[in-house]
Amino acid sequence: MSRFALQVTFAVVVAVAGSACGGDSSPDPGPSSGVSTGTRVVDLSDAEGIALCDWVAARLGGYGQGVTCTNGTTVTARQTRELCVMDYQNVSPTCPVTVGEIEACANQSVGPPVCASVPSVCAALIACVL
């Protein structure tokens, strides 16, 4: 098993300003990545990390796509799978964030309704990489 990490919301980038709406016609995969929700991100296998990256990207409309919350902040997937996986590989081994928290961040961002601001569950993801 290799160690995976997250960065600025674990393959979900939170930004202020800049529109990230739209999509690349990726079908919405639904509310679950298929990876066990209790698994800590640092314990993911290579295949699980890739599956989680692909799920987050598809949930947010595709790699490099995302949603703009009503307050103007954005929740955006990483630009590429490779960048997402690289982010996961760089997280601290003490990071307690689980797959379930990543899923909750993405799911609460896309709604319905679409987020009013960056969902509070995303804060744990951000704190883990600062």
SS3 for 23-85 is CCCCCCCCCCCCCCCCCEHHHCCHHHHHHHHHHHHHHCCCCCCEEECCCCEEEEECCCHHHHH
Q: Is it the case that residue 118 has pLDDT exceeding 60?
A: yes
Confidence of residue 13 (pLDDT cuts 50, 70, 90): low
pTM for the full model? 0.81
Comparison of pLDDT for 62 and 124, the residue scoring more: 62
- β-bridge mates for residue 40, sequence order: 98
What are 20-72's pLDDT values in tens digits? 344 445 678 999 999 999 999 999 899 999 999 999 999 999 999 999 999 99
pLDDT at 126 over 60: yes
Q: Which residue has the higher pLDDT, 21 or 107?
A: 107
Q: Is residue 1 part of a domain?
A: no
pLDDT value at position 105? Answer: 94
Q: Would residue 55 count as lying in a domain? A: yes
**% of the chain with per-residue pLDDT over 70:** 78
> What is the rounded CA–CA span in Å between residue 11 and residue 44?
14
Predicted local confidence at residue 14, as pLDDT: 53
pLDDT of 8: 36
| Most confident among 3-12, 93-102, 121-130 (mean pLDDT) | 93-102
Structural domains counted in the chain: 1
Domain with 64, as residue range(s), is: 12-125
Q: Is residue 21 part of a domain?
A: yes
Q: Give the residue-averaged pLDDT of 70-95.
A: 90
